[in-house]
Structure 1
Amino acid sequence: MVEPDLHRKNAALLVIDMQNDFILPSSTIHLQGAEAIVPNVVKAVEVARSRRIHVIWVVREHDPRGRDVELLRRHMYASDEPKPVSKGSHGAQLADGLLMEECDYKLVKTRFSAFFNTNLHSYLKALGVHNLVITGIQTPNCIRQTVFDAVSFDYSSITVIVDATAAATPDIHNANILDMSNVGVATPTLEEWCGGCVL
């Protein structure tokens, strides 16, 4: 196994959808269990920065009229209710404790995968990144689809930090973690990852 220190300049941490509308219990699209992982995501970002790993904040920001929203959520933008993760709204902001720094990169997506109709792959290639570390929500949708697209793009290593990601229930989370591990994705805990045994 190659010592992780040799890879760190070639790695990026993706923080996916850690926004108020997905995390706060008052939101109509709140994900149960999302709030509990915020401290671990904060820690993962701190460790990434200390290791000089690129930090990429992957967020949803939709047109307030819902013109760029997938079909399954379009009805939410036709009512008078607050529009989920609409651009410029409080719901689209990062959750408390998560701070984007000037050297970080913000990537806006409008579908589950961070690679779909975005410049993520070309941006990572320009940086020389071929190792990805994934945190955020939620495991069966945005995490899983981003991971499987990364597998298709032949990234050298893909890591999902299991306790810095979450789904609606532990059973859903664990089943999807198992599926990803079965295609070669590393699935350490935050403690294992911070200890350096996994990039």
Structure 2
Amino acid sequence: MNSIQLTRDDALLVIDMQVDFLPGGKLGVPKGDEVITPVNRLMRLFASQGLPVAASRDWHPENHCSFTARGGPWPPHCVADTAGAAFSTLLALPGDALIVSKADTADTDAYSAFNGTDLADQLRQRGVRRLVVGGLATDYCVLNTVVDAREHGFEVIIVREAMRAVDVAPGDGERALARMAALGARPAGLDEFAGIPANA
């Protein structure tokens, strides 16, 4: 198939692949660990072609407004500089990856990697026009990031194998995928990328 040829305009954006969002973490996404291998394959592909890789992370203070103690919807998670906020040790992030920290002040939440960050400017400085997106979770931070990416004018490819949903309400993940597609994001499978390395 291999219908997607990467160009100098492309970047990979990996969303919130942190310990607390993986099974066993404080806010683990069901089957979230299944995303690691597909994401690693994409990172190897981009690195092999010298293309940018960006990775977002929640980087919350201890009293963040999204936590239940402050009336938010979530248990404490991804508190800055804790083990739960670290990227999975199985994630093969390249050494020159652009790390984007979000929701890092107590009174502001941010599901999108673009919200309150300079990610759009950083990508434009690198000549990026199209983003390939994967990570956690489909129905929250991936969805909101893709919505903002489209508003910023980036083309977007979403890789279904490389994301999983929370599904607080059954079907949230599928609805999120449909909404992203309706906004112009192109759904794609790993096998559509020319040069994708073997599963490993």
Which residue is equivalent to 1:135? 134
1:1-199, aligned counterparts within 5 Å? 5=5, 8-25=7-24, 27-63=25-61, 65-66=62-63, 69=64, 71-75=65-69, 83-110=76-103, 111-155=110-154, 157-169=155-167, 171-194=171-194
- Deviation, 1:20, is 0.4
Q: Kindly provide the amino acid, as one letter, of the partner of residue 100 in structure 1.
A: L
Structure 1 residue identity aligned to 2:12: L
Residues 64-120 of structure 1: CA deviation (Å, up to 9, x unaligned): x22xx3x3325279xxxx942111111111113213332211110111001111010
What SS class does the counterpart of residue 101 from structure 2 fall into? strand
The answer to whether the 8 Å contact 1:161/1:193 transfers is no
Shift of 1:41: 1.1
Given the two structures, how large is their TM-score scaled by the length of structure 1? 0.83
Q: How many residues align?
A: 184
- Identify the residue that residue 107 of structure 2 maps to in structure 1: none
Extract unaligned runs of 5+ from structure 1.
none
Other-structure match for 2:106: none
Alignment deviations for residues 134-168 of structure 1 (CA, whole Å, 9 cap, x no partner): 0101111111111111111111x201101101102
Tell me by how many angstroms 1:50 deviates: 1.5
Identity %: 24
Q: Distance in 2 between matches of 1:24 and 1:4?
A: 31
Q: 1:99 to 1:145 in 2, by over 3 A?
A: same
Deviation larger for 45-54 or 130-139: 45-54
TM-score by length of 2: 0.83
1:45, distance to aligned residue in structure 2 (A) = 1.0
What's the offset of the Cα at 1:62? Answer: 1.3
